[in-house]
Amino acid sequence: MTPPIDRELLRLLPKAELHCHLDGSLRPATMLELRQALDQLGEQKSRVQVLFITVDPERDTPAHLAKYVPEFDPGFIGLSGSPEEIFEHPANPFVMSFLGNVNVFQGSVQGGRARLGNLEIAYPDYPHDESREATAFIRSHELEILRSPNGRPSLEAKITHVNPARPVVKVRVYSEAFGVVLTVDVSWEQYAELRLAIGDTVYVAPRQVRVFVQEYAI
């Protein structure tokens, strides 16, 4: 079992200012403090990710961030883009998991298809014959609960918890195929129409899936 990160050491991490520009006002001293604080974490440093998100993408372009941020530490990640772009088109799995409530699936891609347990979806970004490991992310509002699969790619699951708050009902379902609990956002109208209750067997279908193919490490 992985030991927890020392919270006393984490308190050493300074709070960085998000609204800053690369043209001299990015506070290099703060970035140096972050690097020094991370060094004090020792072996646990690899379990902490420093992420810089610019709020001025017109000035702080990806090229600027790619050149500037790693100078302080190769592990630092800089993100440039509007909030909508970063949220809808995350650059990597870490950013995807960092922004929003997500459900994570482990699987593989091959021949234009992504296979996530017994869920198979089209993935034309990887048309190759060689199978590669992949991680898929689906946000809670991008899953839909069905009473029957209706021919759509879906996972059979059992409802374990319902929080019937308005305007969005939070539903947790257990997928035996993955052995994980998934979180699904359901509108109040759909909740009332489906008459969802704990213990019901339902089918969970993705509206959108973001797949990241694992890179080879040498």
Looking up residue 121, the CATH number of its domain turns out to be: 2.40.50.140
- CATH code where residue 26 lies: 3.40.30.10
Single pTM value for the model: 0.63
* Residue 111: domain span: 103-213
121 lies in the same domain as 70: no
177 domain residue, yes or no: yes
Question: Residue 192: what pLDDT?
Answer: 92
Question: Residue 27: what pLDDT?
Answer: 57
Domain boundary among 52, 68, 99: 99
210 membership: H or E segment, kind and range? strand 210-213
Question: Residue 165: what pLDDT?
Answer: 84
Helices (H) and strands (E) in the chain, counts: 6, 12
3-state DSSP: the chain helix, strand, coil percent, rounded to 5? 25, 30, 45
Contact 72, 31 (CB under 8 A): yes
138 lies in the same domain as 202: yes
User: Checking DSSP bridges between strand 51-53 and strand 77-79, what pairing results, if any?
Assistant: parallel
For residue 3, give both structure tokens: 């030991």
Question: Residue 147: what pLDDT?
Answer: 95
Tens-binned pLDDT, residue by residue, of the chain (218 aa): 445 544 444 444 444 343 444 444 445 677 777 788 888 888 777 777 777 777 667 777 777 777 778 878 887 877 776 667 767 777 777 777 766 788 888 899 999 999 988 788 999 999 999 999 999 999 999 999 999 988 888 999 999 999 988 889 999 999 988 788 999 999 999 999 999 999 999 999 999 999 999 874 43
189 lies in the same domain as 132: yes
